[in-house]
């Protein structure tokens, strides 16, 4: 991975009232908490862990939020950690 990638994350509420985050763009991303702020805090950590586990790549995930079709969809941008070190 040499460039940025966009991971769209859908956040909704299940029948039990928990907030759930999933993504069609990143297999394995599933986060559930009763507090939406906890979900949001866990999204970048989970994205980074999945890239590390599934691809052996260190990335940093940063949020870029927008709304679409009255549901909550958040876009997260992933950048290779090595690219961030070069820029620093």
Q: What is the pLDDT of residues 38-74, one digit of tens each?
A: 998 999 999 999 999 998 999 999 988 655 544 578 8
- Cβ contacts of residue 29 below 8 Å, gap of 6+? 7, 9, 21, 22, 23, 46, 47, 50
Q: What is the pTM of this model?
A: 0.84
- Beta strands across the sheet bearing 71-80: 30-33, 19-22, 5-13, 71-80, 59-68
Distances (CA, A) of 29 to 10, 39, 74, 82, 86: 10, 11, 13, 23, 28
Q: Which helix (H) or strand (E) holds 50?
A: helix 36-55
Task: Identify the weakest region by mean pLDDT among 12-21, 28-37, 48-57, 63-72.
Answer: 63-72
Are 11 and 72 in contact, with CB atoms under 8 Å apart?
A: yes
């Amino acid at each position: 991975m040499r460039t940025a990638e966009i991971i769209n994350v859908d956040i909704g509420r299940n029948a039990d009232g928990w907030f759930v985050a999933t993504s069609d763009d990143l297999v394995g991303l599933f986060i559930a908490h009763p507090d939406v702020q906890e979900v949001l805090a866990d999204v970048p950590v989970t994205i980074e862990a999945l890239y590390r586990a599934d691809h052996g790549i260190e990335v940093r995930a940063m949020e870029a939020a927008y709304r679409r079709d009255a549901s909550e969809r958040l876009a997260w941008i992933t950048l290779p950690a090595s690219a961030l070190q070069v820029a620093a």
